[in-house]
Amino acid sequence: MAQVHRMSRLMVKTLRDDPADAETLSHKLLVRAGYVRRNSAGIWTWLPLGKKVLDNISRVVREEMDAIGAQEVLLPALLPKEPYEASARWEEYGDLLFRLKDRRGAEYLLGPTHEEIFTLVVKDQVASYKDLPVMLYQIQTKYRDEARPRSGVLRGREFQMKDSYSFDTTDEGLAESYRLHREAYQKIFARLGLDYRIVSAVSGAMGGSASEEFLAPAAAGEDTFVDCPACDYAANTEAVTFKLTPVDAEHGPVEELDTPDTPTIETLAEHLGVPASATLKNLLVKVDGEIVAVGVPGDREVDLGKLGEHLAPAVVELVTAEDFEGRGDLVRGYVGPQGLEKVRYIADPRVAPGTAWITGANKINTHAKNVVAGRDFEVDDYLDVVVVEEGDPCPQCGTGLKLDRAIEIGHIFQLGRKYADTFQLDVLGQQGKPVRVTMGSYGIGVSRAVAALAEQSADEQGLCWPKEIAPADVHVVAAGKALQTELALDVSQKLGAAGVRVLVDDRAGVSPGVKFTDAELIGVPKILVAGRRSAEGVLELKDRRSGEREELTVDEAIARLTA
């Protein structure tokens, strides 16, 4: 027996117009269709229809996690400061953490992620290799103090997330736990009806080594990823690599050029009549307070996010005018890698040994040409730091890459022993000696998946949910008259008795046009209308996605919807 929800009693209020602050399709439609309401910036109330969708996604996640042997727990959201201090994430997370004190002055945070606490739970509960492997998960509210919460539930300050963690004694065991989660995620997202890509990623503040993201392509996505049209390569732009290929070529000696008033790549290229790609851009940053130069071709931009990932946990920031004071070797607008004193030089692999460049001569109004990497200057570290562009070569096959926008819906990491080392998570091994545990971390954005599905499946009329997560299986509409309402309620009760989840619009005083518009907006997969042929016991069944319609008797409609 499935529940029948009557809209005359259900707390759902639809809107004709988009919210004034809505930027994305999902934001507009979830509010207009009565699924969510905004409390304050980045904080949302899930109304009855929205809670049903959220719960359906959680149910699918639970079923697939349970299927791989993971065990559900529930950890607190209010967490003590000390474990996050021990892992250094109290500082690394910076302003993203919600921090608070209790009446005694003890410091706490609202959990953004729970690696530290899960590690301590296992340390308390597990003593021997015989107790492992173990996989634990929770579906819980997380908190991050986003600077600009936006796009509705896509980027909130409070959100629902499934996070799970695996604990093994060997790297081979970790690889197996990672595989199980990867396959479970594929099943979850397939059941949810999401179009997704699995891409190589970086671990960021989570730490660890192997890392993959599950991305749902959507115009509203805040992640950019690359996809190769010729092979199976796909990656987050921060994970794209470029092969370092030394160049074997003869170049003339370094020659200084008089280049007045050319402190930028644009003015330099115009003055010399050369493409920007012939110049070398040298960006100065501070890494934990020390000045570092970053070299990239003049026609490319430095991806500061990528640079920060490479250098984490060090803090990376741009230099200011004050940083040039007292540094005669640093001439603003005319910096070149040759002759830099006590400055670490990082370069993109495109600045390969043997490549020649036009770059600053470390003198005002002066540049130099034929400055050769490996001959006239040395690179301390080669790191992929440029902003990836459409057409960049695929690292696997060399074909030009394509860029697309996507929503991150899942992320899996092989954390290794980072947190086990921090908290000395050891178990007694087979040889009777302590063995350090290795971990994996696996996340799914549950509330974010609602928005991703809305973005991917909506049409001009409104939402269009896949059956697995829709708030009901069928939306029964009584066109208005008493006979039609009586028929609609009767067939709804019969469908409910047969196990079909029903939303029935039995509202009095609401025009058929408004009811039909709301049915399209709310987006239940099937719409069953008790309309003009109700007296004959004939209903109209409409497929919300395809728009196909057919007239059926009550018995035929019940048979079709219960098949």
Q: In which band, very low, low, confident or very high, does the pLDDT at 159 lie, cut at 50, 70 and 90?
A: very high
Assess contact for 184 and 420: CB atoms under 8 A: no
Residue 154 has pLDDT above 70, yes or no: yes
Phi, psi values for residue 218, rounded to 5°? -165, 145
Q: Is 282 exposed, middle or buried (0-12, 13-18, 19+ CB in 10 A)?
A: buried
Query: 9-18, 75-84, 161-170, 334-343 — which is least confidently predicted?
Result: 334-343
Residue 138 has pLDDT above 90, yes or no: yes
Report the alpha-carbon angle 214-220-222, nearest 5.
Answer: 60
Work out the mean pLDDT of the chain and round it to a whole number: 94
Q: What is the pLDDT of residue 1?
A: 81
The rounded distance, in Å, linking the Cα atoms of 261 and 468 is 64
Phi, psi values for residue 520, rounded to 5°? -65, -40
Q: What is the pLDDT of residue 141?
A: 97
The rounded distance, in Å, linking the Cα atoms of 329 and 476 is 76
The per-residue pLDDT for range 351-403, each reduced to its tens digit, is: 999 999 999 999 999 999 999 999 999 999 999 999 999 999 999 999 999 99
The rounded distance, in Å, linking the Cα atoms of 31 and 446 is 18
Taking each helix axis from N to C end, the angle separating 25-32 and 446-457, rounded to the nearest 10 degrees, works out to: 100
Strands (E), 81-210: 98-101, 107-110, 134-143, 158-168, 197-200
Return all residues near 415 (Cβ < 8 A) that are at least 6 apart: 115, 203, 206, 207, 208, 209, 438, 439, 440, 441
Q: In which band, very low, low, confident or very high, does the pLDDT at 201 lie, cut at 50, 70 and 90?
A: confident
Q: Global pTM?
A: 0.88
Report which of residues 203 and 363 the model is more confident about: 363
Over residues 48-62, mean pLDDT = 98
The rounded distance, in Å, linking the Cα atoms of 21 and 248 is 56
The rounded distance, in Å, linking the Cα atoms of 54 and 449 is 9
Secondary structure element (H or E) that encloses residue 558, with its range? helix 554-562
Q: In which band, very low, low, confident or very high, does the pLDDT at 208 lie, cut at 50, 70 and 90?
A: low
Residue 2 has pLDDT above 90, yes or no: no
User: DSSP per residue over 355-409, as a string?
Assistant: -EEEEEEEETTEEEEEEEBTTTB--SEE---BPP-TTPBPTTT-PBPEEEEEEEE
The per-residue pLDDT for range 488-503, each reduced to its tens digit, is: 999 999 999 999 999 9
Q: Amino acid identity of 471?
A: P
Q: What is the pLDDT of residue 209?
A: 66
Q: What is the pLDDT of residue 169?
A: 97
Please state, for a pLDDT cut of 90, what percent of the chain lies above it: 89
The per-residue pLDDT for range 77-100, each reduced to its tens digit, is: 999 999 999 999 999 899 999 999
Q: What is the pLDDT of residue 238?
A: 83
**Residue 466 region, left (φ>0) first, then alpha (ψ -120 to 50), else beta?**
beta
Assess contact for 162 and 137: CB atoms under 8 A: yes
